[in-house]
Each structure stands twice: as C-alpha cells, then as structure tokens.
Amino acid sequence: MSKLLYQTELGRYFTGDSEKVLTSEVGDELQNKVQLIFTSPPFPLNTKKRYGNLNGDEYKKWIINFSEIFSDLLKEDGSIVIELGNAWEMGRPIQSLLNLETLLGFVNNPKANLRLCQEFICYNPSRLPSPAQWVTIKRIRVVDSFTHIWWMSKSDYPKADNKKVLRPYSKDMNQILKSKKYNAGKRPSAHNINKRSFITDNSGSIMPNIIELEPIKPNREVRLPSNVFSIANTQSNDFFLQACRKTGVVPHPARMPLELANFFIDFLTDPGDIILDPFAGSNTTGFCAEKLGRKWISIEIDEDLGKQSIMRFQDPSLAGE
Ligand SMILES: C[S@@+](CC[C@H](N)C(=O)[O-])C[C@H]1O[C@@H](n2cnc3c(N)ncnc32)[C@H](O)[C@@H]1O
C-alpha cells in the first residue's frame, strides 16, 4: 500500500496513494507535527487522463476530503500552501470553477477548521499560449498565464516571518536610502507619507503577493510593474533536468520552480521543521527542504516519478559545493 522508496538525511519518499498513506501509520506518526504542507495537487480536468476516472464532482469530493486529513497533521501554527492553476471546461471557452470550489471546500469544511491566510498569484511569462484552441486558433481568449497559490492555516496567526523573504530594494529605493531625501506628504491615493518612512534600511522590501517567474529568455523586456517579485526560473537548466537528459529519463512535466518552494519554506518554517508534500512528483519540495535544513515527507502515486526524483539528491549544491 505504501512503500518507502528512498530516504535521505532529512527526509523520506513514499510511493502510494497519498490518502491511503496518510491514513496509515505514516499519517499516525505525523499527527500535529507538520509545520508546512506544500503541494501542487493533480490538476482537476487532467485527472481523468491518468488517475482513474474522476469527473468534476468526484474530483472535488476527493480533493476536499484532504482538508481534514491535512488539518489533523498540522501543528497549531502550521500552514498549508496549495498551488492550483486555472482549469477550463472540456471543449468550451469557459473557465472551470473547480479550483475555486476546491478552495471553498477546504475553508468551509467545519471538521478541518481552516482559513485562507492569503492568496498569491504566480505569473509565468514564459507559459505557452493556452488553452490553444481559444487563444491561438480562434483568438477569442487571452493567454492563461498564472497559477493560484492558497495559503491556509488552522489559526489566524500561523508561523510566518516576511523579514526572512525580503526582496532586494529597487534602484530608486537604494537611491532614497543613500540620499535620505524623498517627497513626503499626501499621495493621490490619500496615503500620507511620513518624513521618516523610507529612510530606514531594512535590508530589503516586503514581498507583494504576486510572484513572477523570471522569463526563460534573460533579455526579455519586463512588462509587469517593478514592484512584482521576480524569482529565478531555473527549471529549464537545473541539475535535475541535466541529470534526466544524461540518463534519458523523461522529466516530470509539471515540476514546480525550485524558487517557489524555497520562498514558502523560508517564509513559513524554520530549520528542523517537518514539511509534507502529498503529491510530490519529482520531489521539488523534498529537495528544497533538504537544502534548507528542514525535515520532509513526500508521497507520490507513480513509482517511476519517485525513482527519477532520486537524481535530485546527487546535486553537488546539496553538499554546499
Ligand atoms: C502537479 S504534480 C506535482 C509536481 C511536483 N510539485 C514537482 O515539482 O515535481 C502532481 C503529482 O501528484 C501525483 N498524484 C496524483 N494522484 C495522486 C495520489 N492519489 N496520491 C499521490 N500522488 C498522486 C501525480 O502523479 C503527480 O506527480
């Protein structure tokens, strides 16, 4: 039913159906101990293709059932972070509400006692135009280019520290810090800017909740406002991908960017905390957790995907090289 595929100094990777694994002795051992559940579940409408025959309502029931299972595993100040893209109705140019219903199902389940701490948007400027039928063929929709990231918890005050995830100051801000001069007073937005607000150097500015993956082409013109936070999108040439190429392995098609996992791990956990990814795929979460000194548990139904993820742990950067 569940099989320990491999383990490292800080983590264990199990293969099996995560619902079954988490309601077995693996789950018993984790009750009230997990600081962060960080995961990108299988996509609603693609589910049908590979994992049984879940249609919309079955998918909803299946995924929402995890709200209670996850809640029981979390520490009181723990967090659940779920990444889900937009889904589209099969054969129609309209968006499915299944992902939003999933969120509502999680926070409305009284047995899970979860709330939405904050939503993040992860914008990927390099995403291919999709859904192709409506965007590039019929030209009646625009490119669907972001995923939702929902941060939930059992308490209004889960462990979190935005000082651990500061982004570098902009050129303008560095200039202000140097000159100690800027226009104080009333802004068109009606905010009153204090004379001293901007002259304290806090080593970086506070993150917004829109995260932009850096474009794969480095000299692409940046079109988003400069206050959006760009994170490196190293996926197209990281150690794991190179290792897959060398060994002729087809890499997991829906890998999560390493920097996205790093961001939430830094923001919501400390070294030694336990992080769980119940839909682990190529184990981006476990790898980032190991690198940042956190314990991890990963679960994946497809053993071949589990096997390929072992290559991540041969990355010399894990040994600080
Ligand atoms: C979007 S992918 C996750 C990718 C992962 N974050 C990464 O970076 O590689 C979702 C994964 O969930 C797995 N999955 C689907 N149903 C599952 C189940 N019932 N139990 C465990 N894993 C499952 C799929 O095989 C797939 O690898």
**3-state SS track over the chain:** CCEEEEECCCEEEEECCHHHHHCCHHHHHHCCCEEEEEECCCCHHHHHHHCCCCCHHHHHHHHHHHHHHHHHHEEEEEEEEEEEECCECCCCCCECCHHHHHHHHHHHCCCCCCEEEEEEEEECCCCCCCCHHHHHHCCCCCCCCEEEEEEEECCCCCCCCHHHHCECCCHHHHHHHHHCCCCCEECCCCCEECCCCCCCCCCCECCCCEEEECCCCCCCCCCCCCCCEEECCHHHHCHHHHHHHHHCCCCCCCCCCHHHHHHHHHHHCCCCCEEEECCCCCCHHHHHHHHCCCEEEEEECCHHHHHHHHHHHHCHHHHCC
pLDDT score recorded for residue 192: 74
Same domain? For 151 and 290 the reply is yes
Same domain? For 65 and 76 the reply is yes
Looking at ligand 1, which atom is closest to the CA of residue 278? 21
More confident residue, 218 or 254: 254
pLDDT score recorded for residue 124: 87
Q: What is the mean pLDDT of the chain?
A: 88
Same domain? For 43 and 187 the reply is no
- The average pLDDT across 69-84 equals 98
Same domain? For 227 and 125 the reply is yes
Same domain? For 180 and 41 the reply is no
Q: How many degrees, rounded to 5, is the angle at CA 316 between CA 312 and CA 320? A: 120
Looking at ligand 1, which atom is closest to the CA of residue 282? 9
Res 223 pLDDT > 60? yes
Report the separation in Å between the CA atom of 204 and the middle of ligand 1, taken as the mean of its atom positions. 35
Same domain? For 33 and 93 the reply is yes
Res 51 pLDDT > 50? no
Find out whether 298 and 223 touch, Cβ atoms under 8 Å.
Answer: no
Domain boundary among 181, 204, 227: 204
pLDDT score recorded for residue 127: 83
More confident residue, 51 or 169: 169
Domain count for the chain: 2
Report the separation in Å between the CA atom of 51 and the middle of ligand 1, taken as the mean of its atom positions. 10
Domain boundary among 177, 204, 231: 204
Report the separation in Å between the CA atom of 268 and the middle of ligand 1, taken as the mean of its atom positions. 22
Q: Is 22 in the pocket of ligand 1 (CB under 6 A)?
A: no
Looking at ligand 1, which atom is closest to the CA of residue 284? 8
Res 73 pLDDT > 70? yes
pLDDT-based confidence at residue 90 (cuts at 50, 70, 90):
confident
Same domain? For 298 and 193 the reply is no
Q: List the domain range (segments joined by +) for residue 172.
A: 168-204
Same domain? For 287 and 186 the reply is no
pLDDT score recorded for residue 285: 98
Report the separation in Å between the CA atom of 107 and the middle of ligand 1, taken as the mean of its atom positions. 22
**Residue of 14, 301, 310 with the most ligand 1 atoms within 8 Å of its CB, for mutation:** 301
- The average pLDDT across 187-210 equals 77
Domain boundary among 204, 232, 257: 204
Same domain? For 187 and 86 the reply is no
| Residues sharing a CB contact under 8 Å with residue 262, sequence separation 6 or more, in sequence order | 288, 291, 292
- The average pLDDT across 83-104 equals 92
**Residue of 234, 249, 288, 300 with the most ligand 1 atoms within 8 Å of its CB, for mutation:** 300
Same domain? For 114 and 227 the reply is yes
Res 249 pLDDT > 60? yes
Nearest CA to ligand 1 atom 15: 42
